[in-house]
Amino acid sequence: MSNILIIKHGSLGDIAQACGAIQDISESHPDDKIHLLTTKPYYELFKKNPNISNVILDKRLSRLNLIYLYSLMKEIKKYSFSKVFDLQNSSRTSFYKKILFPKAGKEIWSSSETTLPEGTSKKDFDKDSVLERFDYQLKSSGVKTLYTTKPDFSWSITDISKIKNYYNLDKYIVLFPFCSPHLTSKKWPFYNELINLIIEKFATQFKIIIAPGPDEIKDASNINSLCILDNGKALDISQLSALIKDSSFVISNDTGPAHIAAHIGAKGFALFGAHTTAYKASIERENFRAIQVSDLKKLSANKVLEKMILSLQL
């Protein structure tokens, strides 16, 4: 039995996308032990993943923090990993490679850099969709890919019956109107207008809810909907996954919850402006689609409602 390391630090959307690749790696190494290096927000979550035997915490402290860097490298080296799958493909993980396996090729260290197609720059390679890049990386590393391009995040779900009973949730539409403060170009500004239109159209057929993250609870008061919390705190990722899975429809900015919805089988769509494309984000699935426009400020609430009604009828 060998030890295999997968590296995936985040973010939330990336975590949901990577679970198919993680499953393929695990099934390609049935007699080996699969370890995963991740960050604090996803440490407990990944312990639930049936394809992972052990989770290693990376606090991602400064590279100049030599004491921490030494302790992390010591922790990694003790497992004598026979192969590393870098699914983060960041400058930080490239730095780890230089320390751990400075001369290794794709046989030992699989990354977008070590498996880069001949004659293609990493900049050009990164223009492809996220899941296609994972697929190419793993195939080039000898992994048979059955799930990489169709990840299933349902392993993350937990029981939220108490929360649903508390808020009397049956049929509901969940909205995700927030985004990272430094990514305001992803934010569609007309959620309250949409809520009014949904109420006019459907009356009390659906409850309209939001599930803010820890840093979004204060801003949630600006959205005219039912705010779902767990004893005053934001839902954790597993609770959020269950809430999304049980919803009638999801409408979201291009954020982590949208990727959860896409890869958990929920019906809905994400709103994309000029910041990127739905293709590159690999977000469109059978039940979850995207509305792509050049300027989110010009996408009307009426248009979004029209698209939602059509989707609900399918």
Residue 20 vs residues 132, 153, 308: alpha-carbon distances, Å: 12, 8, 28
pLDDT at 118: 85
Q: In what order do the strands lie in the sheet with 172-176?
A: 226-227, 207-210, 172-176, 249-253, 268-272, 288-292
Q: Percentage of residues in the chain with pLDDT exceeding 70?
A: 100
Q: Which residue has the higher pLDDT, 97 or 180?
A: 97
Given pLDDT bands bounded at 50, 70 and 90, which one contains residue 182? confident
Q: What is the pLDDT of residues 145-155, one digit of tens each?
A: 999 999 999 99
Given a cut of 70, is residue 314 above it in pLDDT?
no
Give the contacts of 61 (CB within 8 A, at least 6 positions apart): 68, 69
pLDDT at 147: 98
Whether 12 and 259 have beta carbons less than 8 Å apart is answered as yes
Given pLDDT bands bounded at 50, 70 and 90, which one contains residue 183? confident
Please name the amino acid found at residue 271.
Answer: L
Lowest average pLDDT, out of 19-23, 128-132, 226-230, goes to 128-132
Whether 35 and 3 have beta carbons less than 8 Å apart is answered as yes
Lowest average pLDDT, out of 55-64, 97-106, 177-186, goes to 177-186
pTM: 0.94
The answer, yes or no, to whether the previous bond of 94 is cis (omega within 30 of 0) is no
Given a cut of 70, is residue 84 above it in pLDDT?
yes
Q: Which residue has the higher pLDDT, 283 or 179?
A: 283
pLDDT at 201: 96
Given a cut of 90, is residue 196 above it in pLDDT?
yes
Please give the average per-residue pLDDT across 118-139, as a whole number.
Answer: 89
Please give the average per-residue pLDDT across 184-201, as a whole number.
Answer: 95
Given a cut of 80, is residue 187 above it in pLDDT?
yes
Q: What is the pLDDT of residues 156-167, one digit of tens each?
A: 999 999 999 999
Q: What does pLDDT average to over the chain? A: 95
Q: How far apart are the first and last CA of the chain?
A: 48
Please give the average per-residue pLDDT across 161-189, as a whole number.
Answer: 93
pLDDT at 59: 97
Please give the average per-residue pLDDT across 164-175, as a whole number.
Answer: 98
Lowest average pLDDT, out of 72-76, 112-116, 150-154, 208-212, goes to 112-116
Three-state secondary structure string covering the chain: CCEEEEECCCCHHHHHHHHHHHHHHHHHCCCCEEEEEECHHHHHHHCCCCCCCEEEECCCCCCCCHHHHHHHHHHHHCCCCCEEEECCCCHHHHHHHHHHCCCCCCCCEECCCCCCCCCCCHHHHCCCCHHHHHHHHHHHCCCCCCCCCCCCCHHHCCCCHHHHHHCCCCCEEEEECCCCCCCHHHCCCCHHHHHHHHHHHHCCCCEEEECCCCCCCCHHHHCCCEECCECCECCCHHHHHHHHHCCCEEEEECCHHHHHHHCCCCCEEEEECCCCCHHHHCCCCCCEEEEECCCHHHCCHHHHHHHHHHHHHC
In the chain, the domains with their CATH numbers are 3-151 (3.40.50.2000), 160-313 (3.40.50.2000)
pLDDT at 77: 97
Given pLDDT bands bounded at 50, 70 and 90, which one contains residue 267? very high
